[in-house]
A and B are shown apart, each in its own frame.
Chain A
Amino acid sequence: MECLDTIADYALRSIGIGERLLPRSDFTLCQQFTLIGSGMLWNVYFGIVALCTGFFLATTVALGKAARNPWVRKPSEWFIFVFRGSPLFIQFFFAYFLFLSLKNVYPIFSSLTSAWAGALVVLFLNTAAYSGEIFYGALQSIPKGDTEAADAYGLSGWARFRRVIWPTMLRLAWPAYTNEAIFLFHATTLVYFSGFPAQQQRGDALYYANYFADKTFNPFVPYPILAGYFILLTLIVIGGFGLMNRRLNRHLPQEARKKLKIKPQIIR
């Protein structure tokens, strides 16, 4: 089978394993599917790592924004405002050139000028700001009775946070957080269009889709393929977050449980 050969050659092309030269002419459907799918590895990598690390910073920032002490509150507010108020695209550019200048002064930062680390840092901070705002909103809408009940049980400090506030916050924030996760995966497509170079043409899914569209001057094949992959990814994310949503809501009576409602995606 010719297609199996293509898959063997190009399936891991985006991380530098397999055939080095990209096809240059006579593109087959199989090649387009394989290469764009191989680029998806980067999208998944950026999305998952940024989401997992960003989650912790987001919780911290949300608690910071809800804090009474202005020395804690102000920095958190500014962090959220800066990252939510400016385009992610410009953040990528700014970060890239910032890392370039840093690299000239301190060579330690050299890995940050490549996409796998540098773009990841930007995505991490960005998703932390967006989810921080979501968590902050949830923190504000925790039912008063819940915290009063915690006080009545004699819980305080860490135990109160760990057992009452944090689970309730997550439960309330979860539908919005699911959307945020989906946007984050979509936002990962910006990485290779914003200064971060794709070394040896190892790019993400959109990079390859754009490559094919440029070479064939026919956008009607690669972009729908890309769209298909992303719809699949979105469905997987919704499925995974739905499981978590079920777990977070498992103590509630059946009819009180909130279904995940997916809103249309929006760029940042």
Chain B
Amino acid sequence: MNMYWAFGTVLLLLAITAPVSLAFGFGGASAARSQATPLRWIGKTYIAIVRGIPDIAFFLFFVIALDQAFEYIRHKVKCPDWDEPIRQGSDFVVCTAAKLPLGNAPQWIHEIYGFSLAVLTFAIVFGAFAANVLFGAMQAVPKGQIETAEAYGMTRRQTFWRIIVPQMWVYALPGLSNLWMVLIKATPLLFLLGVEDIVYWARELGSAQRPNFTDYPHADWRMWYFGALLVFYLCFTKLSEIVLDRIMARLTRGQATAAGEAQRKAAA
């Protein structure tokens, strides 16, 4: 039964991560084109830092780093009169009140906490990719549009919200749909973050080493489980491809791009 929940876990992760990382990306991209220099630097570094390093390293890094950061902050707030050092050799020691989740918390809290750490990690990493795509899309909005907005006397903020943001999506969508495909394909990495997802169950079930599964008449079925996962992902990608094509066609309507022009001509 838990195995079927695991599929739900993956879908839930996608459902939460996609908007959150889009928000991260939007924030990053707006920061990167801001007029305030420090803000621009933060945005640009955020985009740049995720490049060049394997993502899986980020996934492994952020889960521990975020966990420790949260515990450290809680530790500073909740136990101000703690005098022992936090790093003792190979241990990371905080007072019991600052432990996350609390030591006496039920199991499901632990699971939820692990899952939200995973979501946050995914959101940070994919937010950087999305920021890069959106930054490019904002630059791609035709200059004439922006100049017209200025000619109408719009402020910078008005231009941003009324001209750039509504028009950038058509330029961003190819990049974003690419990112969505990548996000789908990154979900098995959840397994590395300690969440009991489908990879976990595919490994566990049918492996002959588990004593409570030896009753099964079959030998090692893991190959077929992973084969099924492969097909699941293939179907999922194909489905997204079809849906994204539709959205693209819808977004192109009335845009000043080659595809928009073609649509207009086909209709006429």
Q: Determine how close the nearest CB of chain A comes to the CB of B55; give it in whole angstroms.
A: 5
Do residues A189 and B92 form an inter-chain contact, with CB atoms below 8 A?
Answer: no
B223 in the interface, Cβ–Cβ < 8 Å?
Answer: yes
Q: Determine how close the nearest CB of chain A comes to the CB of B205; give it in whole angstroms.
A: 12
Do residues B92 and A85 form an inter-chain contact, with CB atoms below 8 A?
Answer: no
Do residues B51 and A215 form an inter-chain contact, with CB atoms below 8 A?
Answer: no
Do residues A268 and B185 form an inter-chain contact, with CB atoms below 8 A?
Answer: yes
B238 in the interface, Cβ–Cβ < 8 Å?
Answer: yes
Do residues A189 and B57 form an inter-chain contact, with CB atoms below 8 A?
Answer: yes
Do residues A90 and B55 form an inter-chain contact, with CB atoms below 8 A?
Answer: no
How far apart sit A35 and B47, CA to CA, in the bound complex (Å)? 29
How far apart sit A91 and B230, CA to CA, in the bound complex (Å)? 7
Within 8 A of A (CB), among B33-84: 47, 50-57, 60-61, 64-65, 68
Q: Determine how close the nearest CB of chain B comes to the CB of A222; give it in whole angstroms.
A: 9
A1 in the interface, Cβ–Cβ < 8 Å?
Answer: no
CB contacts (< 8 Å) of A28 on chain B: these are: none
Do residues B230 and A86 form an inter-chain contact, with CB atoms below 8 A?
Answer: yes
CB contacts (< 8 Å) of B202 on chain A: these are: 93
Q: Determine how close the nearest CB of chain A comes to the CB of B200; give it in whole angstroms.
A: 11
CB contacts (< 8 Å) of A85 on chain B: these are: 233-234, 237-238
Count residues of B near A (Cβ-Cβ below 8 Å).
Answer: 47
Within 8 A of A (CB), among B186-242: 186-189, 191-192, 199, 202-203, 220, 222-223, 226-227, 229-230, 233-234, 237-238
CB contacts (< 8 Å) of B91 on chain A: these are: 217
Within 8 A of B (CB), among A177-197: 186-187, 189-190, 193, 195
A213 in the interface, Cβ–Cβ < 8 Å?
Answer: yes
A87, closest chain B residue (CB): B185
* Given A87-B187, A216-B90, A264-B50, A94-B226 contact (CB < 8 Å): yes
B87 in the interface, Cβ–Cβ < 8 Å?
Answer: yes
Do residues B57 and A209 form an inter-chain contact, with CB atoms below 8 A?
Answer: yes
A88, closest chain B residue (CB): B185
Do residues B237 and A223 form an inter-chain contact, with CB atoms below 8 A?
Answer: no
* Given A189-B54, A213-B60, A86-B185 contact (CB < 8 Å): yes
How far apart sit A187 and B61, CA to CA, in the bound complex (Å)? 16
The one of B90, B179, B188 that contacts A87, using a Cβ cutoff of 8 Å: B188
CB contacts (< 8 Å) of A193 on chain B: these are: 56, 192
Do residues B230 and A219 form an inter-chain contact, with CB atoms below 8 A?
Answer: no
Do residues B56 and A219 form an inter-chain contact, with CB atoms below 8 A?
Answer: no
Do residues B185 and A267 form an inter-chain contact, with CB atoms below 8 A?
Answer: yes
* 3 shortest interchain CB distances as A-B pairs: A97-B223, A94-B226, A186-B54
12 contacts between A and B (CB under 8 A): A90-B199, A93-B202, A93-B226, A97-B222, A97-B223, A186-B55, A218-B87, A218-B92, A219-B68, A230-B53, A267-B189, A268-B182
